[in-house]
Amino acid sequence: MCGIAGMVGACDAALVASMTAALRHRGPDGDGVHLEPDVGLGHRRLAILDLAGGAQPMTDASGDFVIVYNGEIYNFAALRAELLAAGVPLRTRGDTEVLLELWRREGPAALQRLRGMFAFAVWDRRTRELHLVRDRLGQKPLYYSQLAGGELLFASEPKALLQCQAVDRSLDLAALDAYLELYYVPPPRSIFAGVKQLPPGHRLTWREGQVTISRWWDCEPRPPDPRLRSVEAWAEAVAPTLAEAIELHTVSDVPVGAFLSGGLDSSTIVAALARRGTALQTFCVGYGPEGASYEERHHAREVARHFGLMHHELELKVDILDDLAAMVAGFDEPFGSWTALLAYHLSRFARQRVTVALAGDGGDEVFGGYPRYRGLRISEHLGRVPPGAVALAGRALRVLGEPTTALSLRRWGRQFLDSLALPPGERYAAWVGKGSDSARDRPYARETARRIAEVRAPNFIAEAFDRPVFGDLVARAWYADIHGFLPENVLRCTDRMSMAHGLEVRVPFCDHVLLEQMAAAPSSMRVTALASKRVLREIAGEWLPPAVLKRKKLGFSAPFGAWLKAAEARIVADWLHPDVIKRRGLFDVTGVARIVGEHRRGTRDHSLRIWSLIVLEQWQRMYSD
């Protein structure tokens, strides 16, 4: 795992060095640069494979290709053996040279053979082309900026690009609007007007100042496999793929651990490795008395004890404002999900003992674990209920108020009812965006609202939902999530918060072979009105104690409501003070005060909205003041 940076079309050696140094946290074990008159490539290394070799930038034996690479190719050993059998001389034992040689021999066609997570840049000296590539699900980040003269800069994180004074760091208003709806900025935009994200599963080619971008991977829902008609049959077909994916994700020359909550996803990963005798340390987070309803440590402890693993627990006591600056710096952009706080602390804790950790990210998307999938099935039937009755039920929920906890059924009920009248794609986008009434909850100042209306981007989630040519509502939601919520929320959080501490986190459920196999699974294999993750539960039933299978879903949760309340006085006196709001000019002072007041009175749970505004203000202090 590493950080990469560079430029093409010109080469400023001092700038390349500065960009590379800005990514030191991603690669504390070494650095290197490659300089030519019109290209510069930089690399920061976190040594995982071939600790003695594998330094980057790396040039192939012919001298025609140079690579900087961030990621892991989990099937590199098989690919390496294939190259050696073909007579290709290899100088190192790691995956970087394998990737470089495959690109030299096959070009972009080699991408289809890679099983892993990656973002890399290849400079082709023969054609004078720079190729940027990002993995299928965007597990590894890649940003770029094209300057007025056609020069291209790229990096793992925006902070490296911002070392160049010519990069426009002004606020992108369309990105701001998306952030306040989704709590992240979707690609290809970033929060900075002059910085773009290369979307997952895409590649970029620069030649003579011209940039072309194309998609190289997609995974739309497919018609069901007629040979698989039951949950048992699907489980039997998928289990070997899942086991192989988990095993491949342990390839490493340094200690490996796993995040373990005691829930189905993380316990399945731990069980698969324990059954194979893999040495493993596990890590779990818990809370004090205020977080009793979110406590999972006893569940994780039981799973670790069952498999005889070395288990470590962190009791988290945080002031949410103490780590705010460090968290925002880890993203370089506003990221409004408070799970980043948990990921930040858990990653720091795990890094004290291991360099690599496996996590259960993607299990909910791939196998159908989110309640919103079941909500889609229910909404198809409720769509026939008279609108007046739905509106009456929504008003009743508003009168009851909303407890400010992550487990508020009233809030979920209000969001569900508010969106029933919307088209399916917009309905799902509203749920993923954490609620309807989005215009009401985005309290723009009049001039801000006018300007955003002129630049507002299409609905990112709804567009993905409507894109597949085949699939029912649940299948479309699955597709939207693997192109939206999973890469841009879940995996972005995991990468930035783990790499802030030099920890590599791997996510076996995001293996593309597993994803493509599940693309043909009927929605009934994922969820019914009463059950979720049906295929995974069937597989895990052979691996796990029965108690794990019976647990209710909790998710990566924390007593954020209590933490927010404890900091409320300082928030109102500083981050959301009327003078601060007025000076920024983006929001209406009265509108922000209304949101804070409704939350304080318990009539609406605005925890995430308030947090997103705090994060945005902190970002402005760090990047725009």
- Residues recognised as catalytic: 2
Contact assessment for residue 563 and residue 320, using Cβ atoms and an 8 Å cutoff = yes
Pairing of strands 58-59, 202-207: unpaired
Strands (E), 142-244: 143-146, 152-155, 196-197, 202-207, 210-215
Measuring CA to CA, which residue among 181, 221, 234, 218 is closest to residue 474? 221
CA distance 48 to 117: 14
Compute how many other C-beta atoms are within 10 angstroms of the C-beta atom of residue 380: 13
Q: State phi, psi for 10 to the nearest 5 degrees.
A: -170, 165
CA distance 117 to 200: 10
Q: Which two tokens stand for residue 467?
A: 């894109």
Q: How many Cα atoms are found within 13 Å in the side-chain-facing hemisphere of 238?
A: 31
Beta bridge partners of 207: 129, 210
Measuring CA to CA, which residue among 406, 345, 404, 324 is closest to residue 615? 324
CA distance 593 to 578: 8
Q: Which two tokens stand for residue 203?
A: 């590649």
Known binding residue 322? Answer is no
Residues 6+ apart with CB under 8 A from 144: 132, 152, 153, 154, 155, 161, 195, 196, 198, 204
Known binding residue 95? Answer is yes
Beta bridge partners of 131: 122, 205
C-alpha pair distances (Å), 232 with each of 47, 536, 539? 41, 10, 8
Report the run of H or E that residue 261 belongs to, with start and end.
Answer: none
Binding positions:
95, 285
Binding positions for L-glutamine:
95
Binding positions for ATP:
285
